A and B are shown apart, each in its own frame.
Chain A
Amino acid sequence: MLLECLSREGVDCIFGYPGGVTLPFYDVLYDHHIRHVLVRHEENAAFAAEGYARATGKVGVCCATSGPGATNLVTGLVDAMMDSIPIVALTGQVPTKLIGSDAFQEADTFGITRSCTKHNYLVRRLEELAQAVHEAFYVAASGRPGPVLVDITKDVFQAQGHYQPVTSVHLPGYKVFTEGHTGQIRRAAQLAQEAERPLVYAGGGIVAAGASAELKEFVERADTPAVVTLMGLGSLPSEHPNFISMPGMHGSYAANQALTNCDVLIALGVRFDDRVTGRLAAFAPHAKVIHVDIDPAEIGKNRAPDVPIVGDVKRVLTKMNKQLAEEKAPANEKLVAARRAWWQQVRAWKDEHPLQVVTSDSEIKPQHLMAEIDRLSGGNAIVTSDVGQHQMWAAQLVRFNEPRLWLNSGGLGSMGFGLPAAIGAQFARPDKLVFAIAGDGGFQMAIPELGTIASNGLPIKIIIMNNGYLGMVRQWQTLFYNNRLSSVELDCFPDAAKLAGAYGFKGRTIDKPWELAPALEEAVREPGPYLLNVKVTPFESVYPMVPAGAAINEMVLGPPQPVPVPAT
């Protein structure tokens, strides 16, 4: 019956790991058309389901057994919660009559996952199953997307029953606001039109709503530059003339200056995250803020907007675009001049401190690695990442011409995310070239999944940016903890060729800059998986950087320069 529900929800692929109480489910799955991908750890089942969902916008599904299986999903659930990714997690639970008895592999999954999910269910009776599963899919995908968990007892898995199609779900307390207030939308469009220094601040909400085309039309009609957050990269093509890269802690100089100096900030599907805003009081201090979000709780959470709009950003932008098209602003020379000056200023900031690709003759610079990946991707490959230095350099330097290409753990910042997410993405998009970029730390958290990749022959290009350190932690220790490098050095990294070889695919380690381009090309040419271990300069730090607690225009643009010793 469960599989019937999943099938009707259009599920074609489940990432999971079987166990005692899910045996009856796996028995039915044995000859069912839904594909089950056996991962090597449940956490990675959740990450893979996220990768699937992030790459397609469809609901990703993962499955684990009771007890340890379910608790291992938790990181992935929180990750999906933080980044608003629609996934449904199915977990087994001990038989109803054993609940509460500390039975073998029993855990209070329903209680544990309360705060990790948008909603969760405990199904103790067969009659509740179909309703719960269909509700789960509806809740996961609608409104602000998120993870939903359905915990199912073994007796429900074992029970026999005929599936009665659930044609509707009724959640009287679940409000989804989509349209947006017409008057507010009118005000917002007008404000954007009359602004002298307008700026769009677009994020993951654009991706979730599928509103890229509307965003592009809006920035063009309103003639405004746009900063795009880590979660939103690709929602406005990186090559679009109005795009001015990522803002925030490791954002570009131009993006942060633009935020600090704009007079109208049009925030679309963003949540004023601390990594973007820096010191909140100094964030966009001169700006009137228009905030469009589907979740009413995001409006005014961190920054009180002047024009709040609760709605689906796609529909809201469509209406704003319509208004901009119909009601042209009266010609106003002062405004035209102000806009021209604003654009000149923004371009000047871009030219003053661009995001630079650093190269060296003797070592591979991490930025050089990202630039080469960017060259091979051409803005079209799927790129997954973990969290840390490699993530920031990739976000700064790799172009994305479409949404759903850049898949990373943004809000939660989970190490070990990139590799399993790439598995989910490659299953969802077999036609796409997928790069899984990881640091040497995060990669070692995800190593077991090389088995899943090999077993399914997934042609994922695993690129390890190997600096021998937990680079981002080390960067903070260097800058803020007197360079006392405590527990951040990772030695004994395995030989990549042997490691990949042990799984039956190709791998290689390089450390010379002239090897980089040919090695990456070889990886891409390889029809199967490829593990490329790139030894980069160990002591490179990510810049620009906004120190924690500082305003975003108080950026550190580069490493401290050696001070010349005065002649005596």
Chain B
Amino acid sequence: MMQIISLLLENKPGALMRVTGLLTQRGYNIESLTVARTLDPDLSRMTIVVDVESSKRQQVIKQMNRLINVLQATDLTDLPSVVRELLLVRVRTVQESRTAVLKEAEIFGGLVVDSSTEGFAIEVTGAPEKLNEFVDVMRSYGEIDVTRSGSLAIALESKKLRLQPPVPTRAGKVEEPVY
């Protein structure tokens, strides 16, 4: 099944590699992954969709939490949340279908971002399943090219973020070097 994970992680070199590497290492298939900075520029928010047996869902979250750069890993699959994806499509269409294409785009809440004699480029956001339908519809009008952002998700209830306090080192305990 598809599991939606929201990760809050430190924006440090290699952090993305750690997450993707861990998923591959443990045999979980990444369906989509998006990442960008949060309001705090030192942190990133990542939304990952993985294809995993439902019995392994908790294990995936636990493995994510083992990563030192990960501050919080949340399984949004069954939690109240909103999942959205952005899709860009370029459709080549004949003169007679242009109005119909525009009508369809309107139904899906799409925005025409480019128009030429060849056809249109259209931007649509929505739930991933809805975008699948839109792709099917566009395909019926002619040749298409599609780019999708991958799912973005946000929880509708805030989960308390528990951060660990600083820990004293051995170095602090030694006043003078121990020669």
Contact = CB atoms under 8 A, between A and B. Distances in A.
A186 interface: no
B68 A173 contact: yes
Interface string A285-305: 000000000011101110000
Contacts of A33: 179
A7 B169 contact: no
Interface stretch (B12-20, B81-89, B104-112, B124-132): B12-20
Given A8-B174, A114-B21, A115-B25, A171 B169 contact: no
B45 to A, nearest CB: 14
Interface string A163-175: 0011111111111
Interface stretch (A131-139, A246-254, A458-466, A549-557): A131-139
B164 interface: yes
A167 B17 CA distance: 30
A168 B14 contact: no
Contacts of B174: 8, 165
Contacts of A114: 14, 17-18, 21
Interface residues of B, number: 36
Interface in A154-186: 165-176
Interface in B46-70: 58-59, 62-63, 65-70
B71 A122 contact: no
Nearest to B172: A167
Interface string A102-135: 0000000011001100111010000000100010
B41 interface: no
A4 interface: yes
A260 B166 CA distance: 45
Interface in B115-150: none
Contacts of B172: 165-168
A296 B62 contact: yes
Contacts of A166: 169, 171-172
A217 interface: no
A522 interface: no
A532 B18 CA distance: 46
A428 to B, nearest CB: 18
B39 interface: no
A10 interface: yes
B169 A134 contact: yes
Interface string B166-179: 11111110100111
A122 B14 CA distance: 9
A300 B62 CA distance: 10
Interface string B151-171: 000000000001111111111
B167 A138 contact: yes
B164 A297 contact: no
A175 B177 contact: no
Nearest to B169: A134
B72 to A, nearest CB: 8
A4 B68 CA distance: 25
A111 B13 CA distance: 11
B178 A7 contact: yes
A206 interface: no
Contacts of B69: 173
A122 B171 contact: no
Contact of A168 (B72, B169, B177): B169
Contacts of B17: 111, 114
A284 interface: no
B9 interface: yes
A295 B59 CA distance: 12
A7 B177 contact: yes
Interface string B1-42: 000000001100110011001100100000000000000000
A170 B170 contact: no
B12 to A, nearest CB: 10
Contacts of B166: 168-170
Contact of A167 (B21, B169, B179): B169
B164 A174 contact: yes
Interface in A1-58: 4-5, 7-10, 33
Contacts of B9: 173
Contacts of A174: 68, 164
Contacts of B25: 115
Nearest to A176: B164
A110 B25 CA distance: 16
Contacts of A134: 169-171
A455 B71 CA distance: 48
B171 A8 contact: yes
Contacts of B171: 5, 8-9, 130, 134, 165-167
A7 B179 CA distance: 9
A413 B169 CA distance: 33
A262 B59 CA distance: 27
Given A119-B68, A173-B71, A173-B164, A301 B59 contact: yes
Contact of A115 (B21, B59, B66): B21
B164 A172 contact: yes
A299 B67 CA distance: 17
B68 A297 contact: no
Given A8-B170, A167-B171, A122 B13 contact: yes
Contacts of B164: 170-176
A170 B172 CA distance: 14
B17 to A, nearest CB: 6
Contacts of A120: 14
B70 A173 contact: yes
30 contacts: A5-B171, A7-B177, A7-B178, A8-B174, A110-B14, A111-B17, A114-B17, A114-B21, A115-B22, A119-B68, A130-B171, A134-B169, A137-B169, A137-B170, A142-B167, A165-B171, A166-B169, A166-B172, A168-B166, A168-B172, A169-B167, A170-B165, A171-B68, A172-B10, A172-B71, A173-B10, A296-B62, A297-B62, A297-B63, A300-B59
Interface of B: 9-10, 13-14, 17-18, 21-22, 25, 58-59, 62-63, 65-72, 162-172, 174, 177-179
Given A167-B169, A173-B67, 12 more contacts: A5-B171, A8-B170, A9-B169, A9-B170, A10-B170, A111-B14, A115-B22, A168-B166, A175-B162, A295-B66, A296-B62, A297-B63
**In the complex, the 9 A-B pairs of residues with the closest C-beta atoms, listed nearest first:** A167-B172, A297-B62, A8-B171, A172-B163, A170-B166, A168-B166, A173-B71, A134-B169, A174-B68
